[in-house]
Amino acid sequence: MASPKKLLFIIIPTVVFFIQEQFSIADNDWQLNDSSVEISDTEEIELGKQVDKYIRHQFYLENDPELNTAVSNITEKIASVSDRNKLPFTCTILQSNSINAFSAPGGYIYLTYGLLKFAKTEDEVACIIGHEIAHASLRHTSKLYYEIKEFLSHQGNRDTADKSLLLLISHLEEFEQDADTVGVLYAFKSGFDPNGLPDFLERHLALAIREGIFSILGFGSSLAINARINRLREYTPTLEKKR
């Protein structure tokens, strides 16, 4: 069974809203109104601002104007066809050589410089941005926020906590699958090649295998990525029918 720290490490690359040095839960200033079934748009945007502030204190930002403009233009184009196109989407490039992308509540998206160097085409970058925009459009942040709080509230009861954790991990996998398909749909509607995402994932998976990353994350992670790639390869040909 994954530990709480490992669980939060898994969540970070997808929808970031709990970020602390030891991957612990955010402090009291970050708590929302528990009477709400779902985070409202206003609450989500405010929470996103706090996460963004934290990230900007932890990373140097890429200041290349041409690169920032290119990424912002792709983000704006894809966000305009999304189901929550009223959110103030922004995409920030972090000066990190790691290959990563993640999102925070309220439309905040982050790409690492390492990811942009690794990407071979604009279509790959567009599909990755589409994936992160899809997380926001599908309100995964709201759902994960309350599920994690529920999990942490049962830490004193091992059986209940384990069941909550299994449910949460299951939902994380579902969220990634949903963000994949919705994200490439957004990219496709914006004029990009939806095969950019499975192409990128295949090359990234090959790199991770060569560098022995799965000896740390576990073989199941490799299988999960393969499943995502196969699902996308089956899905992208059907998008022509959606024109």
Short-list 121, 20, 22, CA closest to 74: 121
User: Would you place residue 236 in the very low, low, confident or very high pLDDT band (cuts 50, 70, 90)?
Assistant: very high
Q: CA-CA distance, 46 to 125, in Å (whole number)?
A: 27
CA nearest neighbour of 186 among 234, 130, 128: 130
- pLDDT band, residue 145 (cuts 50/70/90): low
DSSP letter at 194 equals T
The mean pLDDT value for 130-136 works out to: 95
Residues 6+ apart with CB under 8 A from 236: 184, 188, 194, 195, 198
Instruction: Give pLDDT, residue 214.
Output: 58
Instruction: Write down the pLDDT at residue 94.
Output: 96
Which string of DSSP letters, residue by residue, matches 118-156? H--SHHHHHHHHHHHHHHHHTTHHHHHHHHHHHHHHTTT
Write down the residue that tokens 């209940």 correspond to.
Answer: 160
Answer left, alpha or beta for residue 62, where phi above 0 means left and psi between -120 and 50 means alpha. beta
The residue-averaged pLDDT of 146-162 equals 64
Q: What is the pLDDT of residue 201?
A: 95
Tokens linked to 130: 């589409």
Cα torsion angle, 102, 104, 110, 112, sign: negative
Question: Which of the given ranges, 137-146, 154-163, 213-222, 224-233, has the highest pLDDT on average?
Answer: 224-233
What is the Cα–Cα distance from 176 to 195, expressed in whole angstroms? 16
Which of the residue ranges 126-130, 173-177, 191-195 would you say has the lowest mean pLDDT? 173-177
pLDDT in tens, 33-83: 343 446 788 988 988 898 899 899 989 999 999 999 999 999 999 999 999
Q: What is the pLDDT of residue 127?
A: 98
The chain-wide mean pLDDT, for the chain, equals 79
**What span, in angstroms and rounded, lies between the C-alpha atoms of 146 and 36?**
10
pLDDT at 6 > cutoff 70: no
Q: How far apart are CA 89 and CA 76, in angstroms?
A: 7
DSSP secondary structure letters along 14-75: TB-----TT-PPP-GGG---TT-SS--HHHHHHHHHHHHHHHHHHSPBP--HHHHHHHHHHH
At residue 159, does pLDDT exceed 80? no
Confidence of residue 174 (pLDDT cuts 50, 70, 90): confident
Q: How many CB atoms lie within 10 A of CB 112?
A: 20
What percentage of the chain carries pLDDT values higher than 70? 68
pTM of the predicted structure, to 2 decimals: 0.79
**pLDDT at position 15:** 38
- Most confident segment among 133-142, 155-164, 183-192, 207-216: 183-192
pLDDT tens digits, residue range 192-232?
Answer: 999 999 999 999 999 988 887 655 555 557 888 899 999 99
What pairing do the DSSP bridges indicate for beta strands 108-112 and 90-94? parallel
Q: Is the pLDDT of residue 31 over 60?
A: no
